[in-house]
Chains A and B, each alone.
Chain A
């Protein structure tokens, strides 16, 4: 199993541009989530999904959209990139949300200039 995969690994955007960060998992996990990691702030939840067709907001959802059309994929869309969205983004999945153990992808480092 590849686990949780993320693409791209690095990305540079100009302010106002849009893009989609891809996330896929091959473990048949129902629960998937997106976090951003900033220095001194730990991991903050952006959006999450408890199954195909179901998404909800986390702590910092503004400026981001998600969809979950399949169990495997959970893309994160930046609608109009801003410098404040410069961060490292992690996708995670879990087989049982109530167990709370999450499997993280390798991350995408995004810079917005």
Chain B
């Protein structure tokens, strides 16, 4: 099955700086890569996703890049704000109907 590794496990950034989280996957047939954000006391929520037919996707201050050859994808948050503080999870398909999640990255934005 799919194995997803996520780094770093914690990330502290100064407000206004950029944050980058990287994930690697094992199944070269994987074709969909979502990122979820989990705020304290809540369930994860999808914030952006990318399919394997594109290399980059942006949505305001967040972007995801995909390198199929190297089997890794990254989340980029620019101009970080306090509300970006959360746990972020990457994921990749694990056969039909299922996702494998990374271990998560706790992002702290310092004012």
Measured CB to CB, the residues of A under 8 A from B are 4, 31, 33, 35, 40-45, 48, 50, 58, 90, 92, 97-98, 100-102, 104-107
29 of the cross-chain contacts (CB-CB < 8 Å) are A42-B6, A42-B101, A42-B103, A42-B104, A43-B89, A43-B101, A44-B101, A45-B98, A45-B99, A48-B97, A48-B98, A50-B97, A90-B44, A97-B97, A98-B96, A100-B49, A100-B93, A100-B99, A101-B34, A101-B46, A101-B49, A102-B46, A104-B36, A104-B43, A105-B43, A106-B42, A106-B43, A107-B41, A107-B43
CB-defined contacts of A45 to chain B, threshold 8 Å: 94, 98-99
20 more contacts with CB within 8 A, not counting A44-B101, A90-B43, are: A31-B97, A33-B98, A35-B101, A40-B104, A42-B89, A42-B101, A43-B89, A43-B101, A45-B94, A97-B97, A98-B96, A98-B97, A100-B34, A101-B34, A101-B46, A101-B49, A102-B99, A104-B44, A106-B43, A107-B43
